[in-house]
Amino acid sequence: MVKLNVLVAGSTGYIGIQLIKHLCIHSKINIKYLCGNSSVGKKISFYDKTLTKYKLPKIVKFNKKYLLDVDIVFTALPNGEAQILSNLLLPNNLLIDLSADFRITSTSVYKKYYHISHKSKSNIKKSIYYLPEINNKNINNYKIISCPGCYPTSILIPLVPLLKRKLIRKNNIIIDSKSGYSGAGRGVHKKYKNHNLYESLSSYGVGFHRHNSEITQEFSKISKKVIYNFTPHLTPMFRGILSSIYLDLPDGISAKKILSFLKNEYKNREFIQFEKLNKPLSTNSVINSNNCLLSICETKYKNRIVLFSAIDNLIKGGAGQAVQNMNIYFGFKENLGLKWEK
């Protein structure tokens, strides 16, 4: 059986390691190159001992000649670097990017939030922002697939269909999201060394977190008048995201109706799961999976509900979604490489 050859750029970060784990159990994939800068010559198992059992190439510094040998390039790089690499792509290369480099269609908005001038403006039109459960465009029309951010994934999956059907009021959406510290990358330990990272809860990016640009962009495709507040928090757990979303309902709409609608909307989507009405949820239910788990809870106010959305930030909010998008692009079974023993 002929396998697709893959290059992973940014292979040693938390997302890169998670991606390699999925690709190792994917029956259609051969990992040809693992690229990094500070880790050249090392085995990838140096960063995760569970990868010892797989025959994997040693880490090398990226060279454009490698693009001749691969079908797919995954980039799990700092923002700005996938743009540069995208300018080197050959006609036979598919780029699947896990950074923010092609998420934002407006270069001015991108610069405002990420403080980088875009270095591959011509490639933006060749890219698609693809959240599988809500995007109905033909992914095969594009050579660059931009994977959504972790927070937006947990937020857009439940809210986009509700906004489209006008089942929630759009003028006062409160989003309170809490993430494991892996979402901040390996540098988080140094950045928060004086903040008691492992025993404290920290809010950050209040009002201006860069994922606001992504959320606003996607909401604006439905309505320009969506008013929301998004506040993220860093928690003393390694992985997982729990978004608590406070919603006002129009007259005649109940929590039960919201749950019923979402269940029907996602009835054919394997990775979207639901708790019973009024059952709170935990990130523990989604860890090491590509699932998004949703729960609807009533409050003491008739027209207000709390919607909970939980994902694993490294999988559904990162590497797993990248593999899911790859599977869709090549017509593979959508869960290939995404099911394993925990």
The closest alpha carbon to 144, from 210, 104, 89, belongs to: 89
Whether 266 and 291 have beta carbons less than 8 Å apart is answered as: no
- Fold held by 4-148+316-330: Rossmann fold (3.40.50)
Among this protein's residues, is 150 annotated catalytic? Answer: yes
SS (H, E, C) 195-206: CCHHHCCEECCC
pLDDT at 187: 62
Catalytic residue among 35, 150, 292, 297: 150
Domain 151-313 bears CATH identifier 3.30.360.10: yes
For residue 189, pLDDT beyond 60: no
For residue 11, pLDDT beyond 60: yes
Each residue's pLDDT tens digit, 132-174: 999 989 999 999 999 999 999 999 999 999 999 999 999 999 9
DSSP at 199 = G
Q: How far apart are CA 139 and CA 188, in angstroms?
A: 34
Q: How far apart are CA 106 and CA 104, in angstroms?
A: 6
Share of the chain above pLDDT 70, in %: 95
Which residue in the block uniquely carries the two structure tokens 């009002």? 207
The closest alpha carbon to 314, from 215, 243, 240, 254, belongs to: 240
Other C-beta atoms within 10 Å of 222: how many? 17
Q: Is the pTM of this model over 0.75?
A: yes
Whether 292 and 151 have beta carbons less than 8 Å apart is answered as: no
Mean pLDDT of all residues in the chain?
Answer: 94
List where CATH 3.30.360.10 sits in the chain. 151-313
pLDDT at 92: 96
Structure tokens at 233: 């928090």
Each residue's pLDDT tens digit, 206-265: 989 999 999 999 999 999 899 999 999 999 999 999 999 999 999 999 999 999 999 999
Around 58, how many Cα atoms within 13 Å sit in the side-chain half-sphere? 6
Residue 40 identity (one-letter amino acid): V
- Chain CA centroid to CA 236, Å: 20
Each residue's pLDDT tens digit, 54-103: 999 999 999 999 999 999 999 999 999 999 999 999 999 999 999 999 99
List where CATH 3.40.50.720 sits in the chain. 4-148+316-330
